[in-house]
């Protein structure tokens, strides 16, 4: 242990003994015995905390009585090493930071071991643990009424900026932000992937977006993106018979396309920890998962596995401060408009999601005319921040584009 950290630990404990009325309550709320790396220091902290909880006076005598003969010398060193109790908050910060670094180093050992074993999946999970220790920030959630009203005026004096989908009417009624878990459901061939790719490329103009595909290659996703962004027919792209005018469009749009903060990741067979590890590596703000039912997890049935994945993605969104958008299959049963009960894999999805969007392809539509848009119904089935409802959309399959149908 370096000398600065040793002195900080001693000074925290010394300050608790010298000025318990002012120091102990705040310090007990900020640290635990596990944060102390020097042998014996954690036991001193635990003894002081126990006396505090009991309401027993705290001084060198009462604490020493808890620790026994071996603790007397340690207490004396702590008091002697404390310059002043007035700076205890700075000492606490040093101890807390040192504890995070120490725990990160401890988690490096299994990471290196997994790397030496060639276990990539376990290595990614271990790497997430190291990153979490180093990126952790302390948040004080206690707020007085006086401070609260000042904070309210400061925060609300300017409009809050949320993450936009690019569909104006949808953005009007939702407030998507980091920490939210959004589910986009649809029956097969309803356009879930095309819809979420369009959302991803719009969001990627202003924030960092990672699109994890568990069933489609990144090459095929890129074909769809180029069709969407540049308006080139997907059939031309897939068949490799683009004309000169199409290549001119690509040349003109290449710079803007390359400026998108968008990453496509083939993630077949991946787990939530692997997804999180990659998202952390790429400094993601928004994560798309296509689709939820294919994320690997433990469980005896599909229901149990999807329930676990849904909960893990929700937790990842909140703890990692990502906006997580997961695609989900809807039940094939019934021909009418779906609702939240149509989320076939697990009822937990309905509980975990902050927002649920359902894409519905109208079955009663006349035979589709090539070149003409298909009708889609976008249902806002759950919305914690506002109203629910539905809107009609047009889907242009050749260019993989969705747009609101206001007429």
97, 2: one domain: yes
pLDDT of residue 9: 92
Question: What pLDDT score was predicted for residue 3?
Answer: 82
Choose one of 124, 139, 154: the last residue of a domain. Answer: 139
Note the pLDDT of residue 261: 92
CATH code of the domain covering residue 125: 1.10.860.10
CA atoms of 256 and 279, how far apart (whole Å): 23
**Beta-bridge mates of residue 186:** 329, 359
Give yes or no: residues 73 and 219 share one domain.
no
For residue 102, the enclosing domain spans 1-139
Number of domains observed in the structure of the chain = 2
The pLDDT score that the predictor gives to residue 345 is 61
Q: In this structure, are residues 46 and 108 in contact, taking their beta carbons and an 8 Å threshold?
A: no
> Are 96 and 234 members of one domain?
no
Is residue 37 domain-shared with residue 102, that is, in the same domain? yes
Q: Does the residue 147 lie in any domain?
A: no
Both 323 and 282 in a single domain?
Answer: yes
Q: Which of 139, 158, 182 is the last residue of a domain?
A: 139
Taking the C-alpha atoms of residue 326 and residue 317, their distance in angstroms, rounded to an integer, is: 11
φ, ψ of residue 209 to 5 degrees: the values are -120, 135
Calculate the alpha carbon distances from 370 to 212, 233, 396 in Å.
Answer: 31, 12, 10
Q: What Å distances lie between residue 310 and 137, 157, 273, 293, CA to CA?
A: 25, 36, 13, 9
Are 132 and 178 in a shared domain?
no
Half-sphere exposure of 19 (CA within 13 A, CB side): 15
Last residue of a domain, one of 139, 156, 188: 139
Mean pLDDT, contiguous 10-residue spans, the chain (407 residues): 86 92 87 89 91 87 85 87 91 90 83 80 73 61 72 75 88 90 88 93 93 91 90 88 90 89 90 84 91 83 84 88 90 71 72 90 62 85 87 88 71
User: Quick one: 214 and 286 in the same domain?
Assistant: yes
Read off the CATH number of the domain in which 275 is found: 3.40.50.300
The single residue listed with the structure tokens 């609260």 is 148
pLDDT digits (tens, 9 = 90+) for 157-196: 777 788 999 888 888 888 899 999 999 988 888 889 999 9
Calculate ∠ Cα 386-383-176, nearest 5°: 85
The reply to whether 135 and 178 lie within a common domain is no
Q: Are 375 and 405 within 8 A, CB to CB?
A: yes
The CA-CA-CA angle for residues 137, 351, 183, to 5°, reads 80
- In this prediction, residue 210 carries a pLDDT of 94
pLDDT of residue 407: 42
Task: Please give the C-alpha separations between residue 388 and each of 57, 63, 174, 186, 340, in angstroms, as whole numbers.
Answer: 57, 59, 9, 17, 12
Residues 249, 396 within the same domain: yes
- Is residue 162 domain-resident? no
Specify whether the CB–CB gap between 88 and 78 falls below 8 A: no
Same domain for 397 and 251: yes
Kindly state whether residue 305 falls inside one of the protein's structural domains.
yes
Q: Could you give the 3-state DSSP secondary structure of residue 339?
A: coil
| Token pair for 139 | 């948040």
Cα R_g (the chain), whole angstroms: 28
Pair 323, 183 in one domain: yes
Q: Is residue 106 part of a domain?
A: yes
According to DSSP, the β-strands at 389-396 and 374-383 are antiparallel
First to last CA, the chain: 70
Please report the pLDDT score of residue 346 as a whole number: 60
Q: Which residues are within 8 A (CB) of 117 and not within 5 positions of it... i.e. 6 or more apart?
A: none
Six-digit token pair at 132?
């979490």
DSSP notation for 296-334: B---SSHHHHHHHHHHHHHHHHHHHT-EEEEEEEBP---
| Order of strands, sheet of 181-186, starting from the edge strand that comes earlier in the sequence | 262-266, 209-213, 286-290, 323-329, 181-186, 355-361, 374-383, 389-396, 401-404
Is 31 within a domain?
yes
Q: Is residue 278 part of a domain?
A: yes
In a domain, 157, yes or no: no
Kindly state whether residues 177 and 281 are assigned to the same domain: yes
Answer yes or no: is 55 within a domain: yes
| CA 209/CA 366 separation, integer angstroms | 37
């Amino acid at each position: 242990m370096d000398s600065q950290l040793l002195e900080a630990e001693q000074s925290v404990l010394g300050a608790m003994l010298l000025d318990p009325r002012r120091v102990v309550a705040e310090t007990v709320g900020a640290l635990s015995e596990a944060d102390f790396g020097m042998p014996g220091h954690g036991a001193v902290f635990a003894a002081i905390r126990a006396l505090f909880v009991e309401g027993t006076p705290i001084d060198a005598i009462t604490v020493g009585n808890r620790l026994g003969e071996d603790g007397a010398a340690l207490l004396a060193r702590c008091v002697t090493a404390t310059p002043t109790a007035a700076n205890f908050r700075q000492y606490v910060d040093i101890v807390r930071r040192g504890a995070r670094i120490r725990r990160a180093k401890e988690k490096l050992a299994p990471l290196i071991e997994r790397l030496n074993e060639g276990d990539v999946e376990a290595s990614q999970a271990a790497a997430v643990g190291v990153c979490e220790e180093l990126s952790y920030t302390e948040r004080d959630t206690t707020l007085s009424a006086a401070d609260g009203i000042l904070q309210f005026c400061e925060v609300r004096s300017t409009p809050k900026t949320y993450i936009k989908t690019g569909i104006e009417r949808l953005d009007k009624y939702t407030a998507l932000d980091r920490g939210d878990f959004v589910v986009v459901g649809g029956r097969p061939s309803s356009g879930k992937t095309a819809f979420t790719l369009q959302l991803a490329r719009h969001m990627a103009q202003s924030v960092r977006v990672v699109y994890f595909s568990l069933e489609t290659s990144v090459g095929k996703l890129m074909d769809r993106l180029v069709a969407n962004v540049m308006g080139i027919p997907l059939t031309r792209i897939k068949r490799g018979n683009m004309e000169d005018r199409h290549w001119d469009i690509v040349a003109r749009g290449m710079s803007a396309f390359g400026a998108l903060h968008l990453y496509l990741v083939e993630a077949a067979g991946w787990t939530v920890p692997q997804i999180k590890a990659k998202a952390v590596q790429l400094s993601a703000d928004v994560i798309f998962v296509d689709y939820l039912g294919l994320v690997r997890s433990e469980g005896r049935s599909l229901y149990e596995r999807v329930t676990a994945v849904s909960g893990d993605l929700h937790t990842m969104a909140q703890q990692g401060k990502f906006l997580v958008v997961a695609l989900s299959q809807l039940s094939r049963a019934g021909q009418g408009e779906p609702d939240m009960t149509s989320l076939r894999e697990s009822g937990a999805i309905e509980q975990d999601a902050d927002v649920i969007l359902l894409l519905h392809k109208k079955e009663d539509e006349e035979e589709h005319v090539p070149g003409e848009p298909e009708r889609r119904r976008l249902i806002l089935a759950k919305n914690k921040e506002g109203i629910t409802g539905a809107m009609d959309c047009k889907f242009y399959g050749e260019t993989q584009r969705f747009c609101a149908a206001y007429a």
